[in-house]
Amino acid sequence: MLTRLGCDKDNAGWVVTDRTGRTSVAGVWAAGNIVDPRAQAVAAAGTGSSAAFAIHTDLLDEDVDRAVDQHRQAAAAVRQPTARQCQCQTAYSHSHKTGSPSMTADAPRPVDSVTEQTYTARVLQAERPVLVQFWATWCHPCRMVTPIVEQLAAEQSGRLDIVKVDLDAEPGLAAQLGITSVPAFVVYTGGRPVGSWVGAAPKHVLEKKLASILGAGSDGR
């Protein structure tokens, strides 16, 4: 079967794979000992587990990327009114010379990254409250929550600053602040941490957490 699929083989006739069992054909993994049937059960227990984990990881990556794309596409659709909405806005504007209220949501905006060198100025010395998101490129929940954080950054502009710290790029800063799990969030006011939590959550949950922490002030931690 693997030969008919076109998988590469070595000189001894073995199907060539990487350490996870991935073959030269996209989407095809090989596991077990296909030369000696007596070793099949033992080999499959090890290589089969590696291949299954690799397949799960690849599928999870695709699901996360798809979910993030869908979220951003939905946000873009909200920001771009239909022709009917445009006509309504135009008619309202003509009948109210003072201007029409906005009918579109705030556009998500990228969140600035801070480093160990800029952390003091951007966070500890900030005039407004600051929400710091600690994340990593390999963290699936971090990627899921990123569009939500970007939306909050746009909606809270002028009231709350939002920045992010990459754990892999700033391991010293993360260690100094005691961050061991991601995604992690810390809220600062007046240069002091007043609240924190770990884990991704829907937008309304993040808004509720922020409102509770900022409303409670220094007692919100």
Task: Tell me how far the alpha carbon of residue 74 is from its chain's centroid.
Answer: 16
Q: How far apart are CA 173 and CA 189, in angstroms?
A: 19
Residues with catalytic roles:
139, 142
Q: How far apart are CA 61 and CA 55, in angstroms?
A: 10
DSSP string, 122-185: IIIT-SS-EEEEEE-TT-HHHHHHHHHHHHHHHHTTTT-EEEEEETTT-HHHHHHTT--SSSEE
Give φ, ψ of 57 to 5 degrees: -65, -45
Q: How do the pLDDT tens digits run along the chain, 221 residues long?
A: 556 667 777 777 777 777 667 777 777 767 665 455 555 555 555 555 555 555 555 555 565 566 656 656 655 554 554 444 444 343 434 444 444 444 345 667 689 999 999 999 999 999 999 999 999 999 999 999 999 999 999 998 889 999 999 999 999 999 999 999 999 999 999 999 999 999 999 999 999 999 999 986 544 34
pLDDT at 220: 39
- Contact between 25 and 13 under an 8 Å Cβ cutoff? The reply is no
pLDDT digits (tens, 9 = 90+) for 60-78: 556 556 665 665 665 555 4
What pTM value is reported for the model? 0.53
